[in-house]
Amino acid sequence: MINRRSFIKSTAAVAGTTAIINPYTVLADYGRAHPVKGKLILRYRPYTLQLRHVFTISSNSRSTTPVVLTELEYNGMTGYGEASMPPYLGESHETVLKFLSKVDLSVFDDPFEMENILTYVDGIMPGNRAAKASVDIALHDLVGKIIGQPWYKIWGYDPLKTPNTSYTIGIDKPDVVRQKVKEAEPYKILKVKIGRDSDKMMIETIRQVTDKPICVDVNQGWTDRQYAVDMAHWLHEKGVVFIEQGMPKEQVDDNAWLTEHSPIPTMGDEAVQRLDDVMKAHKVYSGINIKLMKCTGMREAHKMLTLARALGMKVMMGCMTETSCAISAAAQLTPMVDWADLDGALLISNDIYKGMQVINGKVTLTQWPGIGIKKLA
């Protein structure tokens, strides 16, 4: 374990000579100052998540999600990662395994060279963002374990400032929706999937049984700007706090018009994949939804968060259906966001990790190093 005082001292020395600190450069400098050479060994295997309920959004339904679980070993320590592939990402067990087979980390003998390692991984092939995230998460977990600290501390975040997480309710029949609301009793805010002709039914059904705040995810389901803004006003009257990706991402002008006329914030999701998309989303949406599987992992998510905050945008930390591995990795960033939607592991029945917990509806981080997880099986 690295001495924390020495780490802080070395970080402060770097801070005195740079206006903007890249934490990955700081860590690389630390690694060079304290060389412990070894071999990085990447392992991976396919896994299938079983959902507790059929999950329906505006474009599809499913009861499983394919994932690939990764491990990155170095000098007897292991970091864990994950790639989750819901249908719209365009990735699969086959594509992720193919990508990971091309990852050769033998040229790196120091995991602290995070910027170099992850730049290399990102450049192997275009796309494959979830596959890249699985390496990124494992590397962050490994380096955090070597340092002996969780990433929220490495980044300097206050764990007491985490938000409540929403609990997702997919599109369904009224009796099923009411049952899902009952199951969501511990949660302070509900995320409701809409974007079909059943939008008002979904909200009115929920309002029959609870007055909790609601956010809605339209998944690009609205195509007419006037309908969208009329719905925004109606949703505002029903206690909805924001709208996620109301219209197709290609309808940039329509989304900007909706944001201008909506009484509640709009969040870009499908329209905001990676760092380059943050500037494009500025003044088109009120904020952005960052997901590790979209942006290649924690390194880029951290950059997106920093840029969005500099632009005065709202930030939400989201997820796919994932194990507690990827969920806990994303949770490391939550002390700096406005909203969290990190219920992915709560929606599955075969999680194999223990990590971030939801206590009284609030994202609650562990003090375990790295991404803050322990393997159960």
Residue-wise pLDDT for 105-157, tens only, equals: 988 999 999 999 999 999 999 999 999 999 999 999 999 999 999 999 999 99
Q: What is the CA radius of gyration of the chain?
A: 21
Measured distance CA(200)–CA(78) in Å, rounded: 48
* Per-residue model confidence (pLDDT) at position 288: 98
Could you tell me the pLDDT band of residue 52, with boundaries at 50, 70 and 90? confident
Q: pLDDT tens digits, residue range 295-316?
A: 999 999 999 999 999 999 999 9
**Amino acid (one-letter) located at 343:** D
| pLDDT reading at 347 higher than 70 | yes
Burial (CB < 10 A; 0-12, 13-18, 19+), residue 18, is exposed
Q: What is the mean pLDDT of residues 361-367?
A: 97
The whole-model pTM stands at 0.89
Q: What is the mean pLDDT of residues 7-13?
A: 41
* Per-residue model confidence (pLDDT) at position 13: 39
| pLDDT reading at 12 higher than 60 | no
* pLDDT above 90: percentage of residues in the chain: 81
Could you tell me the pLDDT band of residue 9, with boundaries at 50, 70 and 90? very low
Domains of the chain: 4-33 (no CATH), 41-150 (3.30.390.10), 153-375 (3.20.20.120)
The total number of residues shown for the chain amounts to: 377
Q: What is the mean pLDDT of residues 332-360?
A: 95
Could you tell me the pLDDT band of residue 346, with boundaries at 50, 70 and 90? confident
* Per-residue model confidence (pLDDT) at position 11: 42
Give the three-class secondary structure for 184.
coil
**C-beta neighbour count of 50 within 10 angstroms:** 13
Q: What is the mean pLDDT of residues 328-334?
A: 98
Could you tell me the pLDDT band of residue 27, with boundaries at 50, 70 and 90? confident
- Comparing 12-16, 136-140, 333-337, the range with the smallest average pLDDT is 12-16
| pLDDT reading at 61 higher than 90 | no
Q: What is the mean pLDDT of residues 242-260?
A: 98
Measured distance CA(143)–CA(74) in Å, rounded: 10
- Comparing 14-28, 147-161, 259-273, the range with the smallest average pLDDT is 14-28
* Per-residue model confidence (pLDDT) at position 35: 53
**Amino acid (one-letter) located at 103:** V
Give, to the nearest 10 degrees, the angle between helix 114-123 and helix 298-310. Answer: 100
- Comparing 32-46, 201-215, 264-278, the range with the smallest average pLDDT is 32-46
| pLDDT reading at 283 higher than 90 | yes
Looking at every residue in the chain, the average pLDDT score rounds to: 91
* Per-residue model confidence (pLDDT) at position 366: 97
Could you tell me the pLDDT band of residue 18, with boundaries at 50, 70 and 90? very low
Helices (H), strands (E): how many in the chain?
14, 15
